[in-house]
Amino acid sequence: MASDAEFDVVILGAGPIGQNAAERARAAGLQVAMVERELVGGECSYWACVPSKALLRPVLALADVRRVDGAREAVTGPIDPPGVFGRRNRYVTNWDDSAQADWVAGIGATLVRGHGRLSGARVVTVSKSSGEDVTLRARHAVVVCTGSRSALPELPGIVEARPWTNRHATDSSHVPGRLAVVGGGGVGVEMATAWRGLGASVTLLARGSGLLPRMEPFVGELIGRGLQDAGVDLRLGVSVRTLHRSDPAGPVTLELDDNTELTVDEVLFATGRAPLTDDIGLDTVGLEPGSWLEVDDTCRVKAVSEGWLYAAGDVNHRALLTHQGKYQGRIAGAAIGARAAGTPLDTTPWGTHATTADHFAVPQAFFTDPEAAAVGLTAEQAVQAGHRVRTVDIEIGEVVMGAKLHADGYRGRARMVVEEDQRYLLGVTLVGPGATELLHSATIAVAGQVPIARLWHAVPCFPTISELWLRLLEAYRDADNRE
């Protein structure tokens, strides 16, 4: 490639979000360059979604077997960590991105490896490992898809402690004897589940009074009980004050704010994310380095005039979830294509090029034991948003035959939050074995604002766990009849 090249669209970051933006822009006939400083496929493919679920699935599969009479007797030994790590390595292709790089070439986009930085309006300078700089000019748009990184708290001794982040937690092939997990969010509960299942003695420290605090309160309660049943030492309302690790190969001691100490072999901090925007040249276009990028519903950055800069995925801070970022990438790529062609944004077979789901229908799933899944608003969020709501709960294992057949002593709960004035769903939360596979039906109901009266005609198959939909509707009807 020449040291100065021009494209219709330049995308910073070749992870799944950048790939989706590129695919939609290419479908619109635009010339696309993708810039990647690490591996094509990004955090999700190599250090987050894919490896974490590869580690978790054997743990959860074993837990499922142990919940079924006649099957649990076949389990005669512990889980095999080398086998689990080998499976993980296959799914991350041994951290080889050549197949994903081939995909980029296959859609007709140009891959430029190196560290890309904005160097003015519609201009990106790429610093390559060879020391060469390449200047890419965008005729229509630059899309920032650089993602986020683990945010470590500023604590005394944290540098010397060399803590794990999500990357260490998903690419390690050694099971520590003792592991402390700091943080009660999604990464914390999933990695506590995985590493306890792999044989580590795990202590989970959460600053708040519950786990997964952005979900319905019962979610954290059930997951906390599941973690404790698995042998995790769960400590709520506790924070780390300082860390000590004098020997790089030795244990690390955590001083806690309840005046106790905890000594472990490794400590994982899962305490939030920060945008990877500190070194991408934001200052050259009037933005603050290291900041989240506020966007409109087409993912166009609001603070940049002329509308040429877009940001999709974690960097816009709307929903730090891969599937939401991919959705945003598709919207951004299609919107850029429509604007480049001078066509309206809402007259395509795909509908309007606006991220409407970001406002009210964001799905999320956590692969713990039990699993947790939710879409839309919690009951509290719905009330705070000014809705008049009714909340309907069922104990899945008590009323759903498919759940009883799925697991002896099935333990789980489902909740739907109903907008009472127009009678459609604002949110659904599911907890229990296999719950994540039920999430998309809930997402369709919430995103489509399907009326309760119509949902009665979506007949669930017996005897599957999805029969919980019928039981939820019956509970709603019964509450109606009591009024």
Higher pLDDT, 353 or 98: 98
DSSP code, position 107:
T
The pLDDT, as a whole number, for residue 357 is 82
Q: Which residues contact 358 (CB under 8 A, 6 or more apart)?
A: 297, 318, 319, 324, 327, 328
List pLDDT tens digits, range 155-207. 999 999 999 999 999 999 999 999 999 999 999 999 999 999 999 999 999 99
Q: Taking the domains of the chain in order of start, what are their residue ranges? A: 3-46+91-149+274-357, 166-271, 370-480
| Third-level CATH fold of 370-480 | Enolase-like; domain 1 (3.30.390)
Q: Tens of pLDDT along 409-452?
A: 999 999 999 999 999 999 999 999 999 999 999 999 999 999 99
pLDDT level of residue 35 (50, 70, 90 thresholds): very high
Q: What does the pLDDT read at residue 167?
A: 97
**At residue 348, does pLDDT exceed 60?**
no
What the block records as the tokens of 85 is 């790590």
Q: What's the pLDDT tens digit per position in 279-338?
A: 999 999 999 999 999 999 999 999 999 999 999 999 999 999 999 999 999 999 999 999
Residues within the annotated binding site for FAD? 53, 116, 146-148, 314
Using DSSP bridges, classify how beta strands 32-36 and 110-113 pair: parallel, antiparallel or unpaired: parallel
CATH numeric code, 3-46+91-149+274-357: 3.50.50.60
User: Binding site: which residues?
Assistant: 53, 116, 146-148, 183-190, 272, 314
Q: 395 forms bridges with which residues in the sheet?
A: 413
Check if the beta carbon of residue 143 is closer than 8 Å to that of residue 11: yes
Mean predicted confidence (pLDDT) in 8-37: 97
Q: Binding site for NAD(+): what residues are annotated? A: 183-190, 272
The per-residue pLDDT for range 361-376, each reduced to its tens digit, is 999 999 999 999 999 9
| Confidence category of residue 405, pLDDT binned at 50, 70, 90 | very high
Q: What is the pLDDT of residue 480?
A: 73
Residue 12 has pLDDT above 90, yes or no: yes
Q: Is the pLDDT of residue 359 over 90?
A: no
How far is Cα 97 from Cα 38, in angstroms, rounded to an integer? 9
Contact assessment for residue 339 and residue 333, using Cβ atoms and an 8 Å cutoff: no
Confidence category of residue 349, pLDDT binned at 50, 70, 90:
low
Dihedral sign for Cα atoms in the order 277, 282, 283, 287? negative
Span 17-36, average pLDDT: 97
pLDDT tens for each residue of 100-109:
999 999 999 9
Strand pairing class (252-256; 240-244): antiparallel
CA distance 61 to 59: 6
Q: Which fold has domain 166-271?
A: FAD/NAD(P)-binding domain (3.50.50)
User: For all residues of the chain together, what is the average pLDDT?
Assistant: 95
pLDDT reported for residue 248? 86
Can you give the pLDDT at residue 356?
Answer: 83
pLDDT in the model for residue 410: 97
Nearest C-alpha neighbor of 296 from the set 339, 265, 264: 339
Percent of residues, the chain, with pLDDT higher than 90: 93
- Write the CB contacts of 328 (distance below 8 Å, at least 6 apart in sequence): 17, 299, 312, 313, 316, 318, 355, 358
pLDDT of residue 210 exceeding 90, the answer is: yes
Contacts with 322 (C-beta within 8 Å, 6 or more apart), sequence order: 16, 17, 44, 48, 49, 313
State percent of the chain over pLDDT 70.
98
Are 3-46+91-149+274-357 and 166-271 equal in CATH topology? Answer: yes
What's the rounded Cα separation, in Å, for the pair 314 and 310?
12
Q: How confident is the model at residue 345 (pLDDT cuts 50, 70, 90)?
A: confident
